Homo-oligomer: A and B are copies of this chain.
């Protein structure tokens, strides 16, 4: 391993950027704003995909695939959505290159190959999907239509950061159609709950469920449910959104169905998505100054075994012992790596696997062979224990479950101690400029106040928590009446 990471204390943002690259998760590419997801990072993403995909299918959804391109006329059919994405989209205008007559060996865009209609690279797929649904939905028997897509999307962001904000990113987008408003609302809420379940129980990231304000809502949605997480630097991160689209897209694309009485009605819609942004949330929730900390459920390698030896004979004896262990782990579906590289010393290997966040490390030396023991180290709290080889497999299996739980609890404790109720604007600013976190405050419900607070403090309303209690109070900024608190924070 090269020199140490910048610490979080020194520069949180730099720590994050360094960690993502050094731990082999991702790197910037030669294409502006686009990242390369490296094999180790992609292996984590694949685990997220597999679990989410299982959850979507369990709740009755099917996967499908829709085109990458959206013709401009289709893109602009739902006006609010179009307006929301028009300022940051990649546009295909030509379909051929030709040899540059003035510069041999070079290619230029062929002006004779201009498209009649420009194509937008999808920033999200509501337009293309609802234009397709028109052909799929005739009667109430065709509903609900519950579809998900795994895809890449492009938003021309000016300032990009690995995973958190990139011009191209990977995501899934669910798009459903329903016969009634109630059913569509239920679906939106259900998928927010699926995301929260996934974040908390699989990624060990505690989240707050809530509704977005009108200002922060998805362009084209009537209501946006979200889950909001808190990073270690006190900034919030939106980890997933689920939108109730009302009949907006059904009206824009003329998607109607005959109800049981034969009457034509517009369909009700939802859409919901999570993206590779979750990789950023994962890194920033759990990791420390030594590197990544991965919850066992997401770790491509859950256990790494490092032999400590002075000669080939010792290595052979250790390897024989380890072979048995590896087989036992594989039987339990525990993913294990025996790092028997002869080119690197144990200290180097320890640092490397710490950097990469492998939850459990086992070290075995000649002493251990004599004593029938292993040295077991936890990555999350950096403790070591000597464990007898009898029962070590069960011990590790239980330990992985314990680590998963502990990581969630630690993140939850941090989050809970970083929700501060404030009742005046001075306090509001003091908290935001100090420890940060969520600030729970009364707000008068106007977009104007929201905007002013944002201008003055950079904090936005992350959500109106679903579990908030009705409480009459005075807006922290204007002093106008308010019926409950909302959560503000600076956010990624």
Which residues of A line the B interface, CB within 8 A?
27, 29-31, 34-39, 42-43, 45-46, 62-72, 74-76, 79, 82, 86-98, 105-107, 109, 118-121, 128, 131-132, 135, 141, 147, 151-152, 154, 156, 168, 170, 343
Contacts and interface: CB of A to CB of B under 8 A. Distances in A.
Contact of A31 (B35, B119, B141): B119
Contacts of A109: 91, 93, 118
B66 A42 contact: no
Given A42-B62, A97-B91, A35 B107 contact: no
Contacts of A94: 90-91, 93
A158 to B, nearest CB: 9
A95 B106 contact: no
Contacts of A68: 34, 121, 152, 154, 168
A35 to B, nearest CB: 7
A334 B71 CA distance: 42
Contact of A69 (B34, B39, B72): B34
A128 B31 contact: yes
A96 B92 contact: no
A30 B71 contact: yes
Contacts of A93: 91-94, 109
B86 A63 contact: no
Interface centre among A67, A105, A106 (most CB of B within 10 A): A67
Contacts of A39: 62-64, 147
B82 A89 contact: no
A31 B69 contact: yes
A29 to B, nearest CB: 5
A429 to B, nearest CB: 35
Contacts of A74: 30-31
B97 A72 contact: yes
A88 B97 CA distance: 8
Contact of A64 (B34, B36, B152): B36
Nearest to A85: B97
A60 to B, nearest CB: 12
A275 to B, nearest CB: 13
18 contacts: A31-B69, A31-B70, A37-B64, A39-B62, A42-B64, A42-B65, A69-B90, A75-B97, A76-B107, A86-B96, A89-B96, A91-B97, A91-B109, A92-B92, A93-B109, A109-B118, A141-B343, A151-B152
A349 to B, nearest CB: 15
Contacts of A118: 109
Contact of A65 (B37, B66, B82, B132): B37
Contacts of A38: 64
A251 B453 CA distance: 55
Given A30-B71, A87-B98, 16 more contacts: A27-B135, A29-B66, A30-B128, A31-B67, A31-B119, A36-B67, A42-B62, A43-B62, A67-B168, A69-B90, A79-B105, A89-B95, A90-B94, A90-B119, A91-B94, A93-B109
Given A93-B91, A119-B90, A75 B132 contact: no
Contact of A75 (B65, B87, B88, B107): B107
A87 B29 CA distance: 25
Contact of A30 (B27, B91, B131): B131
A135 B168 CA distance: 21
A167 to B, nearest CB: 8
